[in-house]
Amino acid sequence: MIEFINVTKHYPGRHHVLREVNLHMRKGEMALLTGPSGAGKSTLLKLLLRLEEVSHGTLRVNGVDVSTFKHRHIPAYRRRIGVVFQDHKLLMDRDVFSNVALTLRVGGLSGRQIQSRVRAALEKVGLGNRAQDLPATLSGGEQQRVGIARAIVHTPEILLADEPTGNLDDALSTEILDLFRDFHYHGTTVLVATHDQSQVDRLGLPVFHLERGRLHIPEEGKA
Q: Which residues bind ligand ATP (CB under 6 A)?
A: 11, 14, 17, 35, 37-43
First to last CA, the chain: 25
Shortest distance (Å) from residue 36 CB to ligand ATP: 7
Q: Which is nearer to ligand ATP, 166 or 221 (CB)?
A: 166
Closer to ligand ATP at the Cβ: 51 or 217? 51
Q: Compute the least distance from the CB of residue 19 to ligand ATP, in Å.
A: 12
- Among residues 135 and 218, whose Cβ is nearest to ligand ATP? 218
Q: What is the DSSP string of 20-81?
A: EEEEEE-TT-EEEEE--TTSSHHHHHHHHTTSS--SEEEEEETTEEGGG--GGGHHHHHTTE
Residue 94 or 195: which CB sits closer to ligand ATP?
195
Report the nearest approach of ligand ATP to the CB of residue 15 (Å): 9
Question: DSSP of the chain, one letter per residue?
Answer: -EEEEEEEEE-TTS-EEEEEEEEEE-TT-EEEEE--TTSSHHHHHHHHTTSS--SEEEEEETTEEGGG--GGGHHHHHTTEEEEESS----TTS-HHHHHHGGGGGGT--HHHHHHHHHHHHHHTT-TT-TTS-GGGS-HHHHHHHHHHHHHTT--SEEEEESTTTTS-HHHHHHHHHHHHHHHHTT-EEEEE---HHHHHHH---EEEEETTEEEEEE----
At closest approach, how far in Å is the CB of 52 from ligand ATP? Answer: 7
Closest contact distance (angstroms) between CB of 4 and ligand ATP is 14
Query: At closest approach, how far in Å is the CB of 44 from ligand ATP?
Result: 7
Query: Which residue lies nearer to ligand ATP by CB, 11 or 185?
Result: 11
Closest to ligand ATP by CB, 87 or 170: 87
